[in-house]
Structure 1
Amino acid sequence: MTTTFFLLRHAAHDDVGSYLAGRTPNVFLGSAGRAQALRLAERMRRERFAAIISSPRERTQQTAQAVSVTCEVGPVELCNDLDEIDFGSWSGRTFNELSRDPAWRRWNEQRPIAVTPGGESMGAVQKRACACMRALSLRYAGENVVLVSHADVIKCAICNALGLPLDGVFRFDIDPASVSVMALSGDHAKLVRLNETIS
């Protein structure tokens, strides 16, 4: 049986694009992000789904909770396999700082093999995200499930579905508060929708 996953990226926090939030604690949605999460939640009212599963980061939990309350589906379940990439010592640094770090440039030029300092590789991220989705596809066979996660985590799952190498993450965008849809049946994955954004 086919399980359909709605892959939601969390709404934007106030400083998105200025620094690497990663797994830095206490990164919450600001007023603009909370409004964005509510618009995403209204968009999801058009769908039927059995569960909402979220990364443990605060910004993903806030986004997931908005969907849960608006759509009256819950409670939100937390899953570490949907967590942001472990960027190690890079978490919390500005992109301006990182741009001067040769290891950061190597990470972006050699994503399939590079590893973050004290963190994890993209391959490890893809492995845990896809294993999570396979397990959930058995648990929710024939149903729809909302997963609230992070841009690169979602990109890893999509690259796997499309048979793209991990440097394929640079070939498409996953915007804040966007919806992508994937259908999973056994080992067969199909991308149904990519990066639908809300106005």
Structure 2
Amino acid sequence: MTITFFLIRHAAHDNVGGYLAGRSSGVRLGEAGLAQAARLGARMTRECFDAIYASPRERTQETAFAIASASGGMAVEITEALDEVDFGTWSGNSFETLNSDPLWRQWNTIRSLTRTPGGENMLDVQRRVLSLMEELAVRHDEGAIVLVSHADVIKTAVSHVLGMPIDAWPRFDISPASITTVVSGTWGAKLLTLNEVIS
């Protein structure tokens, strides 16, 4: 049994890098993000895959629908296991505001031992995404699956595959509309591509 996972970060919303969108509702792709998602969809037509799963956030669904549309109108299944980190009360705050919060600074130093206010720590996130991947590997047996999610969620999966601690997250990037490819089987898992950027 061998299965390929295309781990895709959503395209950029208009204020990416300006504030922590988190699980805030109504964060959608703007004109530039929609164009980026369309280019990503065109890129994914070079791949064969059996299913598309996406986080419940609007920006991930819009990205997933662009891929589905380019690939013949495949259905998109929404799953909470791919949802953004639950940042609790931090969601919606500007990074300028967050940088004055000692807990935010601690979160960015040692995420494995820090819980967001009213939310998750990164080990929680890693458990849910790996559980989903294990479940999908059994459900789909052979083939390939697209998972459209968020940067930190994808980083937890990559860290696991590479045998890196969860706190190694700053050592690599997961850019908007990027593709990271993982192959998994009874023999284990390996990383084929990391952060292929669709400009």
Give the TM-score normalised by the residue count of structure 2. Answer: 0.98
Any gaps of 5 or more consecutive residues in structure 1?
Answer: none
1:16-95 matches, within 5 Å, as 16-95=16-95
Instruction: Give the corresponding residue for 1:97.
Output: 97
* Structure 1 stretches of at least 4 aligned residues deviating more than 2 Å after TM superposition: none
2:175 partner letter: D
Any gaps of 5 or more consecutive residues in structure 2?
Answer: none
Instruction: Give the match's secondary structure for 1:89.
Output: helix
1:189 partner letter: A
The CA deviation at 1:186 is: 3.3
Distance 2:188 2:68 in 1: 28
CA deviation profile, 1:38-82 (whole Å, cap 9, x unmatched)? 000000000000000000100000000000011115210001000
Instruction: Give the corresponding residue for 2:124.
Output: 124
2:132 partner letter: C
Instruction: Give the match's secondary structure for 1:36.
Output: helix
1:141 partner letter: D
Distance 1:186 1:111 in 2: 30
Q: Percent identity?
A: 54
Instruction: Give the match's secondary structure for 1:112.
Output: helix
CA deviation profile, 1:150-199 (whole Å, cap 9, x unmatched)? 00000000000111000111110000000000011137111110000113
1:33 partner letter: G
Instruction: Give the match's secondary structure for 1:81.
Output: helix
What is the number of residues matched between the two proteins? 199
For the 8 Å contact 1:51–1:76, the answer to whether it is kept is: yes
Query: What is the RMSD computed on CA atoms of the aligned residues?
Result: 0.8
Give the direction of change, closer, same or farther, for the CA distance of 1:37–1:17 in structure 2 (3 Å limit).
Answer: same
Instruction: Decide which moves more: 184-193 or 114-123.
Output: 184-193
Instruction: Give the match's secondary structure for 1:109.
Output: coil
Distance 2:160 2:73 in 1: 28
2:183 matches 1:153: no
For the 8 Å contact 1:13–1:33, the answer to whether it is kept is: yes
Give the direction of change, closer, same or farther, for the CA distance of 1:23–1:187 in structure 2 (3 Å limit).
Answer: farther
1:172 partner letter: F
Instruction: Give the corresponding residue for 1:11.
Output: 11
Give the TM-score normalised by the residue count of structure 1. Answer: 0.98
